Structures are given as structure tokens and as C-alpha cells.
Structure 1
């Protein structure tokens, strides 16, 4: 009887061990520590759909589990977001400082290798794709630049040891898709530019906006700026690329503050976000003329705006100089100002 009892105990222990080994492959364990946290939780999401919210302790530490389908997931800390590769069985530890998310992100544990790669890739992407002026190049030169960027991705991938083959294959497909999307964007941009040159040519009287709400409480129209060049920024509080241009726009305004040009920012936010617009203007210390379109899309429609930020340059007589002017972050903007007679 004792032998049977001992055997049952052994079988039970082995069964528990097998279950434990199996269960560790059924979920991802995420843990780590955040310095200077932005909120009390992390939101894990995929395809913009929330998956799970992970609580963050007062000391910045967190730990939780979740079941996933292998792939890339977003994690939002209340202010910033990043993308992570998750797979059931991973025991991934993450640490980062919210003031420098990408630069301080560190990984340990199972699953660290692909995620270290992804964040190196993110830093490379930010630097390699920052120059939007490449879409103004000739087709051959543009393709050469894109091939150089793709070669950088491939080098980073080949230098990362320990990646599983399905991951590598997926990344190589992503590189191909990246090039295809860039070429498609180039062709679309080129076609749009040609179209705009036909319907909104240089020298044509600019479409107008009237009685937009000015942050200072007054009403402002395009005609109020006759006699000066007008550099218009169409933006919105929710637009990340718009906000990235703000420091460059401020610097440009400061450099040309005593010239014959006025900088006008028009918020295209929805009417319900009016207070959000006012708060952001205050919080970010936005300069220049700050206007709110209040739901009026006639000016955008006239300029065939399909995406923001969008910049427009108008001359002192109210005529179009460039319906799709360079961004403040692009060096060619100052060249355009000089060639157009801003002084």
C-alpha cells in the first residue's frame, strides 16, 4: 500500500511539473521598472484595440501576465507608446525612463533579443526617415536613397544574433513593404504636386479664410495680412508629426520676426476640441498667430489638403507662392523664403 501511495505521489509531482512547464508557454510574463512614470498603468494594445491594462506600483515597478498571439503589440504609458514583440513563453523584463523612452529602453529575460532589435530599429527609422525632402528628388536619386535606408535595416537585422527564422523572414518582408510604400507615396506626391501646380499655380490669387477665431480673442481673416508674406501651418492637437514641427517653427519665427512675413497656425481640430486647442497653445507656448477654424473646412478644401501638417506660402499681394511649402524642419524652407523675397 505504501508503494502505491508513494507512486501516486511521484505521478502527481511529475504531473504538476509537466503542467507548470506547459503553463509557462501559455502566456507572456511582463515585468520591470519605469523611472518617472507618466501614469499608474500600462495599456497593452494591438491594432488600436486594448488587450490588457497593467498596474504600475508607486515605485515604478510592474508585473503581470497575458496570453497573446505571437506578434507586435503596442504599450502606452499614458503619454508615450512603443511597440514590442510578444510571444507566449516569454519572461520579458523591461526598464526605461519616460523622459527618454527609446534611448533608455532595456530588456532582459526571454524575448529580450527581438525587442532590443526592434528598439534599435526604431531609433534608426527616426533618423533615416527624418528628411522628408527626399520626396522632392528625381525618381532615380529617390530610389537610391530608399535603397540605402533599406540596406541599413538589413545590416541591423543581420548583426542581431539569436533571432528566430520566422521573425527574420517577417522583417525582410517588412523591408520590401517599406520600399513599396515609399515608392507609392513618391508617385502620389509627384502626381499631387503636378496637379496642384495646375489648379493652384504660383501667382494665382490664394483661396481665403475669413473671421477665424484668434487666440487673443479677436477675429482674423487672410486679408488682414496684405502687405506681408504669410506662412500658414495647418495642424491639429492630435497630430504627432504636427507637434514635432513646433520647435522648428518657433525657431523660424524667431529668426524672421523682424522680416516682412507673418506666421499663421490654423487649428483644424474638431469644434468639441476647442478648449484642448487653447490649452495646448498655452502649455506649449506657441508663438505667431494662432487661429481656430471652428469646423470650417473651406480653406482646406480649396487647397486640396489630404494630410497634415500642411504648409502654404502666400505673397504680400495675396497670391500663391507655394501651395505645398517645405516644413520648418526642412532647410529648403529658408531657401524658398530668400528666393521669394522675404527680407
Structure 2
């Protein structure tokens, strides 16, 4: 009897050990030809989540991850990244070459099947998305049929693999559906543009699949960029409806619209996106900032917003503009903002390597010509080209026949004027009044008809 009891106890112990729940994943691998790169970065749609994994000198890495199961983005640098699925209990081995990061991927270990399948699904989605310009010209029945056929292929690919985590399969089933609905949502506006039919409206049942979408799924908001985008579309729709019924401002409408989402996480993130966009681009933002502080419950995001506000509060409309001093003038000598006192100043911050900047040049030339004899406004272009491109700047100004005042910043993006205006991307256009105060720190581009409307309002 004793012997039987001992054996029974041993069986129980083994069973307990076998059923132990693992609440972490192991990510391991090697990056060939890593060069100076020494970290991998793990992120998802959560703007508060960023985890760095050290890469050893020989390119190897390994880390134990106590994170929520799901799909993440694994980045080697800004241009080299892949999607990875990580679930509790996985021991995923990733091997790749830094010089051809995505295409040289190899997966091994627990979780490999899921990730091989994930790359295949994402690749097929990407291929379809890249040819949508042509597909958007199709009539709606043909377009939807094409989309349904592609969704069916993706689901067949997912269902054909039997050796995968059931949680991964359930998640990808939802994500494929979000991809499908996302493509439906963009059809009307895209068809109007690509088919040159500005009055086109989809039929009442075209978006039937989108009508019952649940916008409160935190896990999918973090993991699926298509679901994340759909939530943001819904957020904009609610905000637009509030503006249409007379809500006091667009910023306030977007903040109020965020409160319509029951998920605290999603609500806070929409509030955060709204206020950060306002602080980066708007000319009046104190009222929106105060409303945000009352509405959010995310202390981490609140701290970031407070820090951003302290950086940009001097850039509200009517405040004195930051100044630049003794910038090199293409025509010779040095020029400062003070030299334009008594005139409105329309500033274009650009660079010779910036495609969107160069796209604005023809429009800027036309606007400058239109106001060339108007002594009440000056057109100033400030290049943020590096020293090595100085001659390229000199040549482009001459070859393009750029008018106005052509200057080059004294220290690229680290110039005091550029940093003071919190300029992170170009082109950026700034409008300053005759007293040197900010009219618009993010003025309309020359290609926008709104610019001439702004000038007309100022009696220029």
C-alpha cells in the first residue's frame, strides 16, 4: 500500500510540473553583419511601450520577455523592421542579415510556425495594398468581390496550417477581417480621386461588415495597425459630427469624441494623440491642453504632455517669435529676422534633399511673384542642409530661380531658431507679423489655396 502511495504522489508531482503555466517568452537569435548596430527594439501600437534588446559583438541576442502575448514590431533601425508574434511559452529563434533584414529572415524553435505564417500573411496583404491605386478605379461591386476573394485566400492560408497556437489563429482571424474592413473604408474617398469622380458615394450596404465593429478591444488596438486605424477613423467621424452640430472648436471636438470610447486604454490614447497633435501644429492650444488634463487618467501620458506643453507654450499665436541671427544669405552677407521688422514674414524651412520641399518650390515661386511688389511681406527660405551640401544649396537656388530671400541655417536642425520652433520635419512654413509676433507657426503651404485666403485676411 505504501509503495502504491509513493508512486501516486510521484505521478501527481510530474503532472503538476507538466501543467505549470509559463508566463513569459524567450526571444533569441543572431544578426549577421550588424556593424555599429547594438540593439533591437520591440514595440507595438502602444505609444508607451518600447523594449530594447542588447545585441552582442558577435551579433547574438537573447532575452526573456514578460510581456502580453500578441504581435509586435521588431526593429533593427528605422528602416529595418519586421512583425513578430510572441506568446507565453514561446522560445523563438530569429536569424537574419542586417544588410537584408526582412528578406533574410529565418525562424526556429517554439513559435517559428506562427512567425513563418505571419510573414506570409503580411506579405500578401502588402502586395495587395501596393496595387490598390489600380483597384480603386473598379466599380464597387468588382472592388468588393476582389477584396472578398483576397480575404478568402488569406483565411485559407491561415486555416491550412494545423501546427500553430490557437490563440495566434484566433488573433489573425480578427486581424485579417480588420484588413478587409479597412480596405472597404478607404474605397469611397480613393475611388473619387483615382477614378476622377468627386461626387461618388458607395451604396448603403457596401460597408455592412463595418457597421457592427467593436471599437473597444484594447488587445487589437495595440496589435493590429488596421484595427488601430479603424478606431481612429471612428474617432474622426464622431468629432466631425460634433463640429457639425456647432461644437466650439475642432480640438475640443476631438477631445470630447475620445470620451465616447468605453475602453479606458483606447480613450486615453485617443486623447493623447489629439493633444500631442495640437501641441505640435496648432496656433492656439492652452484651452485644449487644460481640457486634456481634466479628461485623461493616464499619468505617464499626462507627464509627457506637460513636458511638451512647457516646450511649446511660447509658440502660441501672438507670442514673440524666436529669432535667427546672421544667417548666410545666398545673395551675399548675413541676414537676421530683425531685418524684416515692419513686414509680415513668410518663412519656408526646407532642404535640397527633401522631396516634399522641392515639390512646393514651383508654388512658392508663383506666390512670391504675385506679392513681389508688395512691400508689406517678405518671403524667406531657410535651408537646413548640412555643411557638405552647402554648394548643392547654392547651385539649386540658382538653377531653380528661387526668389525671395534665400538663407541657410547656421547649424542644421540644431540651429537655435529651428529648435525653438520644435521643427521635427520639413517643409514647415511659418508666418510672423510686422511686430515680430507669431501669426501661424504651421502656416498653409504655397500649394494650398488657404495661403492666399490667410494673406487676404491680413489685407496683404
Output the TM-score relative to the length of structure 1.
0.54
Distance 1:20 1:51 in 2: 33
Cα distance, 1:193–1:103 mapped onto 2, change above 3 Å: closer
**Structure 1 residue 36 corresponds to structure 2 residue 37:** no
CA contact (8 A) 2:92 2:112 kept: yes
Q: CA offset at residue 70 of structure 1? A: 1.6
Q: Mark the CA change 1:158 to 1:300 in structure 2 (over 3 Å): closer, same or farther.
A: farther
* Change in 2 beyond 3 A, CA 1:101/1:149: farther
* SS of alignment partner, residue 104 of structure 1: coil
Give the whole-Å Cα distance in 2 for the aligned partners of 1:223 and 1:110.
Answer: 57
SS at match of 1:136: coil
Matched, 1:55 2:54: yes
Equivalenced residue count is 225
2:43 to 42, 45, 70: 45
- The answer as to 2:401 corresponding to 1:275 is no
Q: 1:33, CA displacement in angstroms?
A: 0.2
Structure 1 residue 116 displacement after superposition:
1.0
Aligned position for 2:165: 164
Q: Any conservation in 2 of the 1:102–1:123 contact (CA below 8 Å)?
A: no
Is this contact kept in 2: 1:73–1:84, CA < 8 A? yes
After TM superposition, list the pairs within 5 Å mapping 1:14-29 onto structure 2.
22=20, 25-29=22-26
Q: Which moved more, 1:103-112 or 1:127-136?
A: 127-136
| C-alpha distance in 1 between matches for 2:75 and 2:97 | 14
Residue ranges of structure 2 left out of the alignment (5+ in a row) = 1-5, 200-345, 368-399, 401-408, 415-425, 431-441, 451-460
Inter-CA distance 106–216: structure 2 relative to 1 (3 Å threshold): closer
Q: Residue 103 of structure 1 aligns to a residue in which SS?
A: coil
Q: CA deviation at 1:301?
A: 8.7
Q: TM-score scaled by structure 2? A: 0.41
Q: Once the 2 structures are TM-superposed, how far is the Cα of residue 126 of structure 1 from its aligned partner?
A: 2.1
Say if 1:49 and 1:19 are closer, same or farther in 2 by CA, change over 3 A: farther
Aligned partner of 1:243 in structure 2 is none
Residue 191 of structure 1 and its aligned partner are, at CA, apart by 5.9
Matching residue of 2:97: 97
Looking at secondary structure, tell me which structure has more strand per residue. 1
CA contact (8 A) 2:42 2:73 kept: yes
Q: For structure 1, which runs of at least 5 residues remain unmatched after alignment?
A: 1-6, 199-209, 227-261, 263-270, 277-290, 305-343
Say if 1:147 and 1:274 are closer, same or farther in 2 by CA, change over 3 A. farther
Match of 1:121 in 2: 121
Determine the C-alpha separation between the residues in 1 that align with 2:443 and 2:197.
18
Q: Is the 8 A contact 1:211 1:221 kept in 2?
A: no
Q: Relative to structure 1, is the Cα distance of residues 26 and 164 closer, same or farther in structure 2, using a 3 angstrom cutoff?
A: closer
| In 2, Cα distance between equivalents of 1:74 and 1:214 | 31
The 8 Å contact of residues 212 and 294 in structure 1, kept in 2 or not, is answered as yes
In the aligned structure 2, how far is the partner of 1:189 from the partner of 1:303? Answer: 22
Partner of 2:67: 68
Q: Is the 8 A contact 2:429 2:444 kept in 1?
A: no
